[in-house]
Structure 1
Amino acid sequence: MSKQITNHLMMIRPVAFHRNEQTAVNNYYQKAEENASAEEIQQQALEQFDQFVEKLRSEGVDVTVFDDTPDPATPDSIFPNNWISFHQDGVLRLYPMYAKNRRLERREDIVAGLKAKFKVSDVVSFTNWEQKAAYLEGTGSLLLDRQNKIAYAAISDRTMPEVLEDFCDEAGFDPVTFHALQTVDGKRLPIYHTNVMMCLGEDFSVVCLDSIDDLEERENLVETLEETDKEIIEITEEQKEQFAGNMLQVLGKDDQRLVVMSSAAFHSLSDEQKAQLSKHGKLVHSDIHTIEKLGGGSARCMMAEIFNPLK
């Protein structure tokens, strides 16, 4: 049976982290930094990244770190789960990205470095969709229930039905789609990535159901989660804004389950929610506030899970 969680993660160490204007057009979580130089922002992001990696490793997580390169400029390279996904049968999948400067994050030397440590049976690319201005941004767009072969996806500019269909046909998943919205200047607009409002573990799902305004879509999502025996842990729209939907369950030492999130997400949760989550693993959190504020992504976005077997 397919594994849902893994002990192996890939993360990318930032070299020139900053707010990406190309992604800010539809990522409403990105904020502008005031009173900080580019050097200060990079230094803060680097310290927060290193502390996060150290925390994961201290829990026994195997983290493979690659350094970003100064040229070409890729301010969002810290979020590698959008351009690549890893699979137990040894396949790597590459994804079409909305922002042109994010496409530069796909690096052949990283793929080569991974092949040195992990078995890679095939590389499947969906990047040709970029020529048709159609996108699917990896496990930001796709929440994969690997055990039940279900791909959950919130439709947006970065998660398009035709690419989703292509992925599902090729990888053998069934899609469950819905529209997840957030309020921006009084209007309900699409949330840019599914993994901002939802997280999927072995036996649970953290989900902001309030962001799904279409009650039929909401009901369908709940039914599918219940049918696959996932405990639903609901979060509010306010908690979602603190990245409480952007969590990841991973394996630590001796197969201990960990539920990893940012400190902002952790502190937004109620005691009851923390108790619910603690049934599914030790809660691990790290302060990544600069990365969250300027990048508009959080802990889960920084961790690309590797399911390929070790060599």
Structure 2
Amino acid sequence: MRLATGDLPICNLPFANLPIPQFLLPLQTTSHILVVRPTCFGFNEETAASNLFQNGQAPEQAEFIRQQALKEFDQMVEILRGKGVKVTVVEDTPEPRKPDALFPNNWISFHADGTICLFPMLARNRRAERRREVIDQVIAEGDYNVVDIVDFTAWEEQEKFLEGTGSMVLDRVNRVAYACFAPRTHEEVLADFSRRTRYDVIGFHATDLRDQPIYHANVMMAIGEGFATVCLQSIRDAAERAMVYKSLSRTHEVIEITLEQVYQFAGNMIQLQSEAGDKLIVLSRSAYEGLPADQRQRLSRHGELVPIPLPTIQHYGGGSARCMIAEIYLPKKG
């Protein structure tokens, strides 16, 4: 559907026709990522109402769950570094308690034109995840040049949200943001993002097996170089489903996944590359196991599949491999 912002429909913004200098044209994959090592991981009651992939925990389980999440996180970092990815690890702080700190892509995104975006988040206990020292460490480790910080967080005062590259799946090359509307993804903030970043927006509604809104687009779709995975089954409106498919298929090989696979986090994958340029498709072990042989074969044409065991983080946090990664595309100084 086309969504109006004043007299200008979100899905037909003219920014794609504006010239962008060749040296600023982004890649779809990066070899440098940010991850946040959790200190207080656990079930977050403030996010549970809108994230139906979360599962509760008993109080006596808290320390065991925290330790298991740390093991899974550290193993993921080891695997990705072993594949040649540059991983900036920032330690979470114990106070205030931030159970979802290991999902930084919801509050920050880094762009090839030197822009950093800061995003409004629904849960109040997640807003403390936005820390200047995280940004400073990324810039220092990469010797990056930051041109501007675009801050959308004032929308929290109006109870309107846009949780970064969770709410949006970015086609950075073609400058299209795909977003499914839900309590964490608001039409007006999407329009603001579109105006200020020159991204076109394809907005749609997606629901799970219980016909409840899927909380983030990156749970049901992913975009890499030349391919896109998407759960078209979750987009119940025929016109919206056709719009999404038409847009993706213009530029990508579309690999359709089912809602059952979404529950295994098969939609929550991300394509990265090693510093040597080798393409990698990072996903959880459960997502990998949920892919039949033909889908694994099709994806493998676009990069090596890198499955990572994340059962604890998925079960209690309701997010997976892609949620844990904030990609860094900033330009180097000079």
Same fold flag (TM > 0.5): yes
Question: Match of 1:191?
Answer: 214
- Counterpart residue number, 1:275: 297
Aligned-pair CA distance for 1:36: 5.4
- For residue 50 of structure 2, give the secondary structure of its aligned residue in structure 1: coil
- Unaligned regions of 5+ residues in structure 1, if any? none
List per-residue Cα deviations over 1:121-150 (Å, max 9, x = no partner): 111100000000000000001111111111
Query: Could you say which residue in structure 1 is the equivalent of 2:50?
Result: 26
Shift of 1:110: 1.0
Which amino acid letter does the alignment assign opposite residue 130 of structure 1? Answer: E
Please give the TM-score of this superposition, normalised by the length of structure 1: 0.97
Number of residue-to-residue matches in the alignment: 307
Aligned to 1:158: 184
2:98 is the alignment partner of 1:74: yes
- Looking at structure 2, the residues matched to 305 and 170 of structure 1 have their Cα atoms a distance apart, in angstroms, of 20
CA distance in 2: counterparts of 1:63 and 1:115, whole angstroms: 13
Shift of 1:310: 3.4
Is 2:242 the partner of 1:213? no
**1:250 and 2:272 matched:** yes
Partner of 1:6: 30
For residues 171-202 of structure 1, the C-alpha deviation after alignment (integer angstroms, 9 at most, x for no partner) is 00111011010133xxx111000000000011
Q: Secondary structure at the match of 1:44?
A: helix
* 2:124 aligned with 1:100: yes
Once residues 259 and 153 of structure 1 are traced to their aligned partners in structure 2, the CA distance between those partners, rounded to angstroms, is 21
Question: Does the residue aligned with 2:249 lie in a helix, a strand or coil?
Answer: helix
Please, which of 249, 256, 265 is the counterpart of residue 226 of structure 1?
Answer: 249
- Match of 2:101, as an amino acid? S
- Aligned counterpart in structure 1 of residue 260 of structure 2, from 232, 238, 252: 238
Q: Which stretch shifts more, 246-255 or 124-133? A: 246-255
* Partner of residue 297, structure 1: 319
Point out the more displaced range, 245-254 or 158-167.
245-254
Out of 63, 68, 71, which is 1:39 matched to? Answer: 63
Kindly report the root-mean-square deviation, in angstroms, between the aligned alpha carbons of the 2 structures.
1.0
Q: Which moved more, 1:269-278 or 1:36-45?
A: 36-45
Corresponding position: 1:120 with 2:142: no
Percent sequence identity over matched residues?
A: 49
| Alpha-carbon separation, structure 2, partners of 1:299 and 1:69 | 21
Give the distance between the partners of 2:237 and 2:307, measured in 1 at CA: 32
Distance (Å, rounded) in 1 between the aligned partners of 2:69 and 2:245 = 36
SS of alignment partner, residue 123 of structure 1: strand
Amino acid corresponding to residue 326 of structure 2 in structure 1:
A
Of 172, 192, 195, the residue aligned with 1:146 is 172
- Counterpart of 2:169, as a letter, is L
In 1, the alpha carbon distance for the partners of 2:57 and 2:294 equals 34
TM-score (norm 2): 0.90
What amino acid does structure 1 have at the position aligned with 2:209? Answer: T
Offset of residue 210 of structure 1: 0.3
Q: Which residue of 2 aligns with 1:60?
A: 84
Runs of 4+ off more than 6 Å: none
Q: Which whole-Å CA distance do the structure 2 matches of 1:120 and 1:101 have between them?
A: 28
AA in 2 matched with 1:278: S
Aligned match of 1:266: 288
User: Counterpart of 2:11?
Assistant: none
The one-letter code of the counterpart of 2:188 is: E
